[in-house]
Structure 1
Amino acid sequence: MSEIVNTAEELVTPILQEKGLELVDVEYVKEGKNWFLRVYIDKEGGVDIDECGLVSEKLGEKLDEKDPIKGTYFLEVSSPGVERPLKSKEDFERNIGSNVYVKLYEPINGEKEYQGLLDAFSNEMAVIKYRIKTHEKLVEIPFNKIAKARLSVSL
């Protein structure tokens, strides 16, 4: 499956660069009996349905030419939404001051999940300000210990 994701990333990247768009994530997943190739794109201020449609059309043509997926699947191109995943160090740097949810590979201070304000990111270390009851606390999380992270709309 990762080969399909890698091929999709390679094919969509030049399309996105031409349009000034950013690749957020690609996933190839089975839901029920159907397979979905999902491509999440974004730009400053967000993407609209026309941009998603254009990328879907151009990527669909490239996928038909290269044919990396045997069998049927659904191609979906969309915005990552308000709870956008944070994958790269650049994502963390751009989102300092935002509310985030972070899941870790192993516990720090006895916890594997943190939700709070991304207070800082430097030297591959995320600093999250979170609350326990009425107390504000800070936790430093090494980037390589983060299993998943996303923006969070609720605290």
Structure 2
Amino acid sequence: MTDPIEPTMDETELLAEPRLVVEPGAGARVAAIATPVLEGMGYRLVRIKISGESGCTVQIMAERPDGSMLVEDCEAISNALSPVLDIEDPIQRAYRLEISSPGIDRPLVRRSDFQRYISHLVKIEMAVAAGGRKRFRGFISAVEGDDVLIEREGARDGEDPITRLPMEDIGSANLVLTDELVAESMRRGKHAEEDLKRELGLAPPPAPHAKRSDPKKSFAPKPKAKVAKVAKKPPPKNTKAHRLAARGDFDSTEGD
């Protein structure tokens, strides 16, 4: 598993990057209202979902340009967006507003999303069939132009496992939960929390020479160094018994 490749765009370009999937009907109206508010706060819209749970729930999924999202971010968005939605009134009935992060098994809705999660497992449902199929599951191999290359799971012997899918024909795409994905998400969340504390003045800025820790680095205790054995000292040769024996006054074999 290789490290995810960060998009080469800067933050302004990431904020302005269009989504590949657009909601219909009421979802589109909510998206049109929410998008400029989110971008003005430095966030990107991921998805709008309107469901009948708890009467009616309008879920707005958002993220920072780097893909992270904290509870404090959700609270800030809710406080800013609620009064705007109350005025614009895009839903013609009572509803409950829910602001959420994309989650670990997040939807991929932009070209930069596919690029960021290269080598991770994904499931894709096409709006337009590709090669006679609409559902695909495999690892993101590469992003070339407007296409994403998927290395399919379970490819038959002699069959090319790489499938090229036009991103404009994708209906939905989600990451699949794996140990590698969980580890990567935890690393991103930790760094986002550190950045937020620095923005709020709750933590000092990093030293100029400081580097973020490598998530693959092992922090297991190192084995203890072997202690060299100390050689036993030879028995002393200049004892009283030796001196007496040398003068002939002591028989060293006596008592045998």
CA distance in 2 between counterparts of 1:87 and 1:132 reads: 25
CA distance in 2 between counterparts of 1:138 and 1:2 reads: 32
Quickly say closer, same or farther: Cα 1:108–1:83, change in 2 above 3 A.
same
Larger RCO (alpha carbons 8 Å, 6+ apart): 1
Quickly say closer, same or farther: Cα 1:23–1:134, change in 2 above 3 A.
same
Bigger proportion of residues as strand: 1
Aligned counterpart, 2:81: 59
Any unmatched runs of 5+ in structure 2?
1-22, 180-256
Counterpart selection for 1:70 from 87, 92, 114: 92
Normalising by structure 1, what TM-score?
Answer: 0.83
Aligned counterpart, 1:138: 162
1:99 equivalenced with 2:121 (yes/no): yes
Aligned counterpart, 2:138: 116
Structure with larger Rg: 2
CA distance in 2 between counterparts of 1:133 and 1:3 reads: 38
CA distance in 1 between counterparts of 2:31 and 2:142 reads: 29
What is the deviation of 1:129? 1.0
CA distance in 2 between counterparts of 1:71 and 1:106 reads: 34
CA distance in 1 between counterparts of 2:168 and 2:93 reads: 36
Quickly say closer, same or farther: Cα 1:110–1:14, change in 2 above 3 A.
closer
1:88 equivalenced with 2:110 (yes/no): yes
Local SS of the residue matching 1:34: coil
- Identity across the alignment (%): 26
Name segments (4+ residues, structure 1) moved above 3 Å. 105-111, 133-136
1:22 equivalenced with 2:44 (yes/no): yes
Q: Which amino acid aligns with 2:140?
A: L
What is the deviation of 1:45? 5.3
Aligned counterpart, 1:150: 174
Normalising by structure 2, what TM-score?
Answer: 0.53
Root mean square deviation, CA, Å: 2.6
Q: Which amino acid aligns with 2:177?
A: V
